[in-house]
Structure 1
């Protein structure tokens, strides 16, 4: 009887070691206009599946991606799904991908893109930091502020100053009035600042104010994580920064 009781206890407690990690949902693609889509992939952060947003821009001269899927050097399935979605639904080649900073939710799938022959471009600082994180280097060709046109779609890449990271850029589509803020911009659904390990909390608010001045006409603002909306996300980011600073002073 004592043996059976001990066996039951051993089996009961062994179950605690078998807890399954959270499962990542599959890729979700959401249209913003007839040629711009949000690609949402998921990564695991603090034991929860977190959505990460990038853009798919469909032009007459091929597809431009803004950010890879949220991947790691050993698991690039999200970006593989992203390439498959483009092939199945847009039937156009991916011309290149713009990486907005060096974290794994922005450059994690770079090896998958390069394997598929897709060029990944970034600022020199993002390329340098991506290599330091163990990723292949993007092509470090983007200056701090530049506009180019692909298939009659103008795309502006703009470095507003340090914020979420020292290298974060935003991407502006003037013809669509869509701003991809990446992790530099917090969703109105966010209650906190999230990952600030590489942030410049002293400069972030100043950098956000520059974005507000430059892109006040934005109709859609896409943050790096969670739901998107309008320029309220920029004001909300300032609010969260002020709240975070106040908490740090206590």
Structure 2
């Protein structure tokens, strides 16, 4: 009798473990140099946790974030963890967050930033789209191509054209030779196009050629998801887009 009970419990516990939903990994922060870090948070891509990258830029006048953590309109834990990391490790206030397009892996944590009194900026189109998706609005003040300085650190925000979305921008740090491509740029380890719900695949290749031309001196290229590296990611993305276009003909 005891052996039957033990067998039943073992069978039951095995199926309970199998039925548990996957656990999202916690925030990780990886330094690119003494001033710039990649923040990585996780969302769910289908039933699988999937990494999303953003930047932390340390300047003499405070910290600039590029993109929030991957959050939703009801759960901003990732961005809260990001702000706590900055406070505990950099001991500087966050002055600004630049969001690069209106998907939840970029704008999901805006409400958490606003609670902390942090200014969030974007292009006008991203601001409008964020509100339509149910998120708080960033300040839609960024032109299509603009460079400004915070703490003597020049930051360029550039819209090369449509691609992953109609509003995707990239962020260039000329002093560091670091290009943040966001979701316009695919990692070299990516072999699928990912979320194409709001994509303009026909325009994407032309946008990527502009990025390749503008930022050929980049030492580091950080895509919106997965591993970062050098400009090989730009050529890889262009190749993937061209294959996608050919398959749709």
Q: Contact between 1:186 and 1:224, CA under 8 Å: does it hold in 2?
A: yes
Task: State the match for 2:37 in structure 1.
Answer: 37
Q: Secondary structure of the residue that 2:73 maps to in structure 1? A: coil
Q: Secondary structure of the residue that 1:202 maps to in structure 2? A: helix
Q: Contact between 2:201 and 2:244, CA under 8 Å: does it hold in 1?
A: no
Q: Once the two structures are superposed, what CA deviation does each residue of 1:193-243 show, in whole Å capped at 9, x if it has no partner? A: 000100000100000000111111000000000000001001000111122
Equivalences for 1:1-250 in 2 at 5 Å?
15=15, 19-249=19-249
Q: Once the two structures are superposed, what CA deviation does each residue of 1:124-181 show, in whole Å capped at 9, x if it has no partner? A: 0000000000001001110000000000100000000000000000000000000000
Partners of 2:138 and 2:63 in 1: CA distance:
18
Structure 2, gaps ≥5 residues long: none
Q: Secondary structure of the residue that 2:58 maps to in structure 1? A: strand
Q: Contact between 2:68 and 2:105, CA under 8 Å: does it hold in 1?
A: yes
Q: Secondary structure of the residue that 1:172 maps to in structure 2? A: strand
CA drift of 1:116 comes to: 0.7
Q: Secondary structure of the residue that 2:185 maps to in structure 1? A: coil
Q: Once the two structures are superposed, what CA deviation does each residue of 1:38-76 show, in whole Å capped at 9, x if it has no partner? A: 000000011100000000000000000000000001110
Structure 1, gaps ≥5 residues long: none
Q: Once the two structures are superposed, what CA deviation does each residue of 1:65-113 show, in whole Å capped at 9, x if it has no partner? A: 0000000011100000000000000000000100000000000000000
Partners of 1:223 and 1:171 in 2: CA distance:
11
Partners of 1:185 and 1:67 in 2: CA distance:
15
Q: Secondary structure of the residue that 1:203 maps to in structure 2? A: helix
Q: Contact between 1:53 and 1:226, CA under 8 Å: does it hold in 2?
A: yes
Q: Contact between 1:22 and 1:44, CA under 8 Å: does it hold in 2?
A: no
CA drift of 1:18 comes to: 7.1
Q: Secondary structure of the residue that 2:212 maps to in structure 1? A: helix
Q: Secondary structure of the residue that 1:229 maps to in structure 2? A: coil
CA drift of 1:246 comes to: 2.7
